[in-house]
Structure 1
Amino acid sequence: MKKTLWGTRPRRGYLDDALAILSEWDQTGEQVTRVLLLNEAQHALLTERIKVIADCLCLSPDIRRASGETTIRISPCESEILTDREVTLAARIEDAYRSLHDVG
Structure 2
Amino acid sequence: MNPIEQARSEMLGQMQQLRELSAAPIRPASPAPGGAAEPGFGNAFEDALRAVDAQQHQASQAMAAVDSGRSDDLAGAMVQSQQASVSFSALLQVRNKLATAFDQVMNMPL
Name the TM-score, length of structure 2 as normaliser. 0.28
Structure with bigger strand share is: 1
Larger Rg over CA atoms = 2
- Identify which of structures 1 and 2 has the higher relative contact order when contacts are C-alpha pairs closer than 8 Å and 6+ apart: 1
